[in-house]
Structure 1
Amino acid sequence: MQSNHYALKAATIVGEDNNYTDHYLVIKAGVINAITASLDPAIPCIDLGETTLVPGLIDLHIHGRQGCDVMDATMTSMTTISNSLASHGVTGFLATTVTSSWQETLDAMNNIGQASQQTMSGAQVLGGYSEGLFFTNEHKGAHNEQYFLELTHQRIDDLINASNHHLKVLALAPEIANACEMIEYLNEKKIKVMLGHTDATYDETLDAINAGACGGVHVFNGMRGIHHREPGCTGAVLVHNTNVEVIADGIHLHPAILKMICQLKKQQQITLISDCSNAGGLGDGHYQLGKTAIEVKDGVARTQSGSLAGSTLTLEKAVFNLSNMAEIELRDAIHMASLSPAQFLGIDKTVGSIALGKQADLAILDPHGKVQATIIQGRCIYNAAQESLSDHLNNIA
């Protein structure tokens, strides 16, 4: 069945506005053409059985997987990351840098720019995320302070040019020199600014938000926490109209904190991220996150000083963790890993949810929540080793 016009039938389809039971998702030329309870018999159909069809996930903050790091600055590493992400239902991601030398950062951005212009074999590179260099020491986490730099107009221009204008997000600490001026300049260049690895006060953070910063990097982690007389960066990004990144691995944030975040923020203001390092998918052991040695023990990555160092999380696991720990609807958690990041990037008109006219970027989950297949623009880019499903999806690849 090799056709650019076909249907998928699933037990549940998680649409943008509704869940559909025993419906057909009709795909034509890589685009969602219909969601219907009945199907024209002339349209080829694949019955996916007791599966759930969800939008392809979008990971806005990920450093690597399977022993490969964005900082490797090679297409081989980017391809490995891309393919690994596809096996976890991710259809698009921002390749995220970590503090390193200036030249190594530019090299990584150059590679990100090249990957962003290619059709990857797995999840697509949606652009670059600069995390590192422009932080302060107090909450540096796994970032090596010897490479911290002053943020200037020239350095912003250099990052943009190195990425061939595919830099989408830059993270900084609000208390660095000229932060508000730099935020305004980044906004002029259409680059989102996130605040993190910071000891900024509430007022310093509010100044940055008023200058155009969008929200908080992995909220609560790598920032001054909430005190009842000094809410800090954490308090500021939670109570104002900003976005927050959330790592829902049960390590970075207590379930009660996850629940609080979901009560304080609107769905579109919460973006689930993996913040995964190159240790993701490899098990316990010793690894490098940029220039920093880390150890993974029982699935938790830490520096030698004990600071958390990214994660080994997958985004589909984060979805189920958040739903269970924060006691929210699964569809809401799914959209925090698909529609919310698409809205943040301004690409939600074409991707991020299952809706008419959008790209057929999809993940197929079995009854246990395991990813069985991943589809981009109607083309299967990953399928698990279950013959019945695999054979059908190979026919539409």
Structure 2
Amino acid sequence: MKRTLFTNGLVYVGDRFQPLDLLVQDGRIAGFPGPGARADEVVDLKSRMLVPGFLDLHTHGGDGVDVNAATAEDLAKIGRFFAKNGTTGWLCSILTDTPEQTLWCIRQAREAMDAPITGARLMGIHLEGPFLAPEYKGAMPEHLLQKGSAELFRKYQAAADGAVRYMTVSPEVEGVVEMIGEIAGHITVAIGHSGADYETACAAIDAGAAACTHTFNAMGLFHQHRPAIMGAVLERPVMCEAICDGRHLHPGSVRMLLACKGWDRVVAVTDSIQAAGLPDGRYKLGVNDVVVEDGDAKLASNGVRAGSTLTTGQALKNLVQFTGEPVERVLPLLTRNPARLIGMDHRKGSIAPGKDADLVILDGKLNVTATYVAGVCVYAE
């Protein structure tokens, strides 16, 4: 039973930093020992901060790998890149594709989830489609979009052996509200890529939808006479994704979202593509050609924004800058909130005895200096 002691630093516990030692045993947090604790390994934090690992629920890749074309080995490569940026757990977001390719992606993800951990842990699958509205398809191939079908979802979930944890759907698509009612107890459903009116969006939420995908982006905008889907998700008790790269959302929009929803109902995501971590150039997002200029990813065909090149580590810094709040106020958007959204907060998202020892060391400038998954160092600068 390996025991690792983290000492001489500030540990993020109870939404604040405390000068504690932390003991990890067999991949779990064992507690906060007093002086004289014995361990097989001692990690000197050197006055740095020890925080929960970041969780990214919406990402299409990074470091040259696109999820829709990724083998299990490729997904592990993404995980290693993510670990450098403080991510300890993630969902691979499968863009709308053919049923055959989607099933292939699911098989690769399932294999990667069972492989030895070499970076951020792949916790499951996010299906972005295919039950989405053509008018707000973004980078989704329109000819592959479908009506709501609980049967097709169950086929994908069976192939994944239950690993599909999160799915984005459009409420106005035929059959989607009924589908949500059938599957919401088995998966976290988000609404997005949608021009749904207020009433239809509320019906989806009442049926069990619990989140909104990349809020304010690829969705009908608010009007005082027609609140639309935006009005519904701001008013109702759902959680809201936010891409905090400074491009998808103006800093003022981020602050407004936090003011409307509260800090416990916003989840920071990257929506990153394979270009994350790489220079400007030409890339892929599913079947789409993407051009990245000055770090901004857009479809080559029409200039529509197509994901981001954001990392969780940069999102943390951006949120501190956008809000003017201290890092301890911002951290839950990348840790506790995403864990709660997909029902994994009993194991992840905070530092507490019994939880997974998924940890990140930050220096005073919020740079990631080391990342631990299940108590094992998977990245150190």
TM-score (norm: length of structure 2): 0.95
> Identity over aligned residues, as a percent?
32
Question: Following the alignment from structure 1 to structure 2, what is the Cα–Cα distance between the partners of residues 236 and 319?
Answer: 27
User: TM-score, structure 1 length as denominator?
Assistant: 0.92
Q: Which one of 235, 240, 252 corresponds to residue 236 of structure 2?
A: 240
Q: Pick the aligned partner of 1:175 from 172, 177, 183.
A: 172
The answer to which of 307-316 and 64-73 deviates more is: 64-73
Amino acid at match of 1:161: A
Q: Number of residues paired by the alignment?
A: 379
AA matched with 1:147? L
SS at match of 1:32: strand
In 2, Cα distance between the equivalents of 1:249 and 1:192? 25
Contact 1:184–1:212 (CA under 8 A) maintained in structure 2: yes
Query: How big is the shift at 1:243?
Result: 0.7
CA deviations over 1:234-268 (Å, ceiling 9, x no partner): 12111110011110011100111101111111333
Residues 198-233 of structure 1 deviation map (CA, whole Å, 9 limit, x = unaligned): 111111100100111112100000111111111111
3-state SS of 1:228 partner: coil
**What is the aligned counterpart of 2:287 among 261, 279, 291?**
291
Trace 1:228-377 onto structure 2 (pairs within 5 A). Answer: 228-304=224-300, 305-377=302-374
Give the Cα separation in 1 of the matches to 2:69 and 2:14: 37
1:155-170 aligned within 5 A: 155-170=152-167
Paired AA for residue 277 in structure 2: G
Aligned positions of 1:27-66 closer than 5 A: 27-35=24-32, 38-40=34-36, 42-43=38-39, 45-66=42-63
1:191 pairs with 2:156? no
Q: Which residue of 1 aligns with 2:83?
A: 86
Aligned twin of 1:7: 5
- Residue 72 of structure 1 is matched in structure 2 by 69
State the Cα distance separating 1:192 from its structure 2 match.
Answer: 1.2
Partner of 2:130 in structure 1? 133
The aligned amino acid for 2:160 is S
Whether the 8 Å CA contact 1:259–1:327 is kept in 2: the answer is no
Gaps of 5+ in 1: 385-397
CA contact (8 A) 1:53 1:364 kept: yes
1:376 deviation in Å?
1.4
| Aligned residue type for 2:233 | V
Asked if 1 retains the 8 angstrom alpha-carbon contact of 2:192 and 2:214, the reply is yes
User: What is the CA–CA distance in structure 2 between the aligned matches of 1:114 and 1:268, rounded to whole Å?
Assistant: 33
Counterpart for residue 99 of structure 1: 96
Provide Cα deviations, 1:66-85, integer angstroms capped at 9, x if missing partner: 11111114112111111111
Is 1:116 matched up with 2:146? no
> Residues 80 and 6 (structure 1 numbering): CA distance in 2 closer, same or farther, change over 3 Å?
closer
Deviation of 1:349 after TM superposition, in Å, equals 1.5
User: How big is the alpha-carbon RMSD for the aligned residues of Structure 1 and Structure 2?
Assistant: 1.6
Q: Is contact 1:13-1:19 (8 Å) kept? A: yes
Distance 1:29 1:120, change over 3 A: closer
Consecutive unaligned residues in structure 2, runs of 5 or more: none
Structure-2 separation of matches of 1:72 and 1:4:
37
SS in 1 for 2:134: coil
Cα deviation for residue 8 of structure 1 reads 1.0
